[in-house]
A and B are shown apart, each in its own frame.
Chain A
Amino acid sequence: MDQSASKPDIRKIKADFPTLNRKVRSSFDLIYLDSAATSQKPEMVLEAMDRYYRLSNANIHRGIHTLAEEATAQYEDARQRIAKFINARRSREVIFTRNTTESINLVVNSWGRSRLQAGDLVVLTEMEHHSNLVPWQLLASQLGIRLEFVPVDLTGTLDLEVYQGLLEQGPKMVAFMHMSNVLGTINPAKEMISAAHRAGALVLLDGAQSVPHLPVDVQDLDVDFLAFSGHKMCGPTGIGVLYGKETVLESMPPFLGGGDMIKKVFLRSFTPNDLPHKFEAGTPAIAEVIGLGAAVDYLDAIGMEQIALHEHEIMRYGLDELAKVPGLKVYGTDTLQRGAVFSFTMENVHPHDVAQVLDDLGIAVRAGHHCAMPLHEKYGLPATTRASFYLYNTLDEVDRLVEGLSRVNQLFR
């Protein structure tokens, strides 16, 4: 891959994000290292949403007037661009939800509830975010399905031998995260999906951390469901996507009931609407869909390959530099299959104190269990500090982080 040809100019990218050009703690340039929680939003996304509200605000799909026509066209046009972004065959395979969590709940409640019965096996992993654990736990307690977990080792890698063994037990579904929000591990999704298919299971991939940072191609992966959130990929909050293979979505009952998801309604029955409307009950987040469409345009213009390369460079540099900080331990793999996410602990310093000291220097990180309590438990950690990078971060910001961590050591060691 030619890296020099269209290597993105990060200074120019940074200028597109209003929040990244403000000062914090009176005099510090903001160093935003919490994109795994939510990304910042470029001007283009804010403008698209603002323009919709200022010029075309109307409800969609039904109105005959100009504004309704414009709103419907913008909404459905965004769906097509988002479908293209993940290389879906058809835009009707893209269902709008509130976020990754709701997308997973849709699969669990529509597909799971109608297909699974007591004793059926669903395979998850130990590194899952709570959003891909709790919905399945709820279903397990109600239907009596069985949950088994692929173990993660201390390098942050899934044990694929145990996975193979679990597949031999004939699971109906395998659900796992593409990239870990804590360890940064990029799981071998394609290999795991084809193994699951050979065993007769469907696969739900949690793409919350992968879709914003890597090229993700649903046809190449051959994945049955892909869930992701707009707000982690330069889009607004309140909008998420469930991609599903058309044949699978067609065979599923509706999730939420209400307006828009019906074709006909009688007092005691209804017939569901066509895809994708069948799964979009009620007035959707129209401005947010339009905003996510703009976010996808923004990422496309830079190129997901370029973004992945840039973050890979940060990941390599970050691991090297963090290793030099006394008393600091980074969790996870140092192989190539890792994103620019560093969860770490510092000897004798609580993660919250680390985050507090960094904040005083204008550096935004996160401290806690990052919605992955079982994973932290496995590592025997109550919490970690996490620095997560995105397309708008620079190698200089890694240096600033390391300087900040030296300050932490000065104070506490």
Chain B
Amino acid sequence: MDDLYREVIIERHKNPHHRGTLEPYDYSFEDENPFCGDHIRVDVRTDESGMITEAVFSGHGCAISTASADLLIESIIGHSVEEVKKMTKDDVLELLGIELGPVRLKCALLPLKVLKAGVYGLDQASDRLVEGDE
């Protein structure tokens, strides 16, 4: 339990640093976790070179999914969209610094799925987007 709710996760959930919406945006996408109803939206602005200058998330979810969203957003600001496209499950787990079972993994991965569906311009956020090599 202590591991799952590390201080940083509780803290980011209570007081996220990157919550909000952007208007206009270069990329925006929202989707939910069908198993629990968590809903996450991510808005991103980039400069001409494709570097992410601003990014925020909104929506509602559990501590794991919101902390994951907040840490994810923080990690991509200043990086390129191309780098985001390469991110996988492992990057998210590293950000969170915890081990997760299959059910909570879905919570943790929702923000990255949404973000990647957005930058790829897809109409759906599928599990496939965040898998490494199976």
Chain A residues engaging chain B, CB cutoff 8 angstroms: 61-64, 68-69, 72-73, 76, 80, 90-92, 262-264, 273-275, 277
Max count, chain A CB within 10 A of own CB: residue among B101, B103, B104: B103
Residues 17 to 65 of chain B near chain A (Cβ within 8 Å): 32, 34-36
Chain A residue contacts of B134, Cβ below 8 A: 80, 90-91
Contact of A274 among B101, B102, B104, B127 (CB under 8 A): B127
Given contacts A64-B104, A274-B127, A277-B34, 5 further A-B pairs with CB under 8 A are A62-B36, A72-B102, A72-B103, A90-B134, A273-B34
Cβ distance B1 to chain A, nearest Cβ, rounded Å: 11
Chain A residue contacts of B103, Cβ below 8 A: 61-64, 68-69, 72
24 A-B residue contacts at CB 8 Å?
A: A61-B103, A62-B36, A63-B103, A64-B103, A68-B103, A69-B103, A69-B104, A72-B101, A72-B102, A73-B101, A73-B102, A76-B102, A90-B134, A91-B134, A92-B128, A263-B34, A264-B32, A264-B34, A273-B34, A274-B126, A274-B127, A274-B128, A275-B126, A277-B34
User: Nearest chain-B residue to A72 (Cβ)?
Assistant: B102
Chain B residue contacts of A68, Cβ below 8 A: 103
User: Nearest chain-A residue to B62 (Cβ)?
Assistant: A64
Cβ distance A148 to chain B, nearest Cβ, rounded Å: 37
How many Å lie between the Cα of A63 and that of B106 in the bound state? Answer: 12
User: Nearest chain-A residue to B102 (Cβ)?
Assistant: A72
Residues 48 to 102 of chain B near chain A (Cβ within 8 Å): 101-102
How many Å lie between the Cα of A53 and that of B53 in the bound state? Answer: 52
Chain B residues engaging chain A, CB cutoff 8 angstroms: 32, 34-36, 101-104, 126-128, 134
User: Nearest chain-B residue to A276 (Cβ)?
Assistant: B127
Structural contact, A69 and B101, CB atoms closer than 8 A = yes
How many Å lie between the Cα of A76 and that of B32 in the bound state? Answer: 21
How many Å lie between the Cα of A387 and that of B102 in the bound state? Answer: 44
Cβ distance B26 to chain A, nearest Cβ, rounded Å: 25
User: Nearest chain-A residue to B131 (Cβ)?
Assistant: A90
Cβ distance A60 to chain B, nearest Cβ, rounded Å: 8
Chain A residue contacts of B128, Cβ below 8 A: 92, 274
Cβ distance A71 to chain B, nearest Cβ, rounded Å: 10
Cβ distance A358 to chain B, nearest Cβ, rounded Å: 47
User: Nearest chain-B residue to A261 (Cβ)?
Assistant: B34
6 closest Cβ pairs, A-B complex: A69-B101, A263-B34, A72-B102, A274-B126, A274-B127, A62-B35
Structural contact, B127 and A92, CB atoms closer than 8 A = yes
Chain B residue contacts of A277, Cβ below 8 A: 34
Contact of B35 among A61, A90, A91 (CB under 8 A): A61
Cβ distance B35 to chain A, nearest Cβ, rounded Å: 5
Cβ distance A315 to chain B, nearest Cβ, rounded Å: 37
Evaluate whether A263 and B127 lie within 8 angstroms (CB atoms) in the complex, with A63-B103, A72-B103, A80-B134 already known: no
Chain B residue contacts of A63, Cβ below 8 A: 103
How many Å lie between the Cα of A164 and that of B104 in the bound state? Answer: 52
How many Å lie between the Cα of A61 and that of B103 in the bound state? Answer: 6
Cβ distance B63 to chain A, nearest Cβ, rounded Å: 12
Cβ distance A323 to chain B, nearest Cβ, rounded Å: 49
How many Å lie between the Cα of A62 and that of B36 in the bound state? Answer: 7
How many Å lie between the Cα of A98 and that of B42 in the bound state? Answer: 40
How many Å lie between the Cα of A61 and that of B32 in the bound state? Answer: 15
How many Å lie between the Cα of A273 and that of B102 in the bound state? Answer: 16
Max count, chain B CB within 10 A of own CB: residue among A80, A274, A277: A274
Chain B residue contacts of A91, Cβ below 8 A: 134
Max count, chain A CB within 10 A of own CB: residue among B32, B102, B104, B134: B102
Cβ distance B105 to chain A, nearest Cβ, rounded Å: 10
How many Å lie between the Cα of A259 and that of B61 in the bound state? Answer: 21
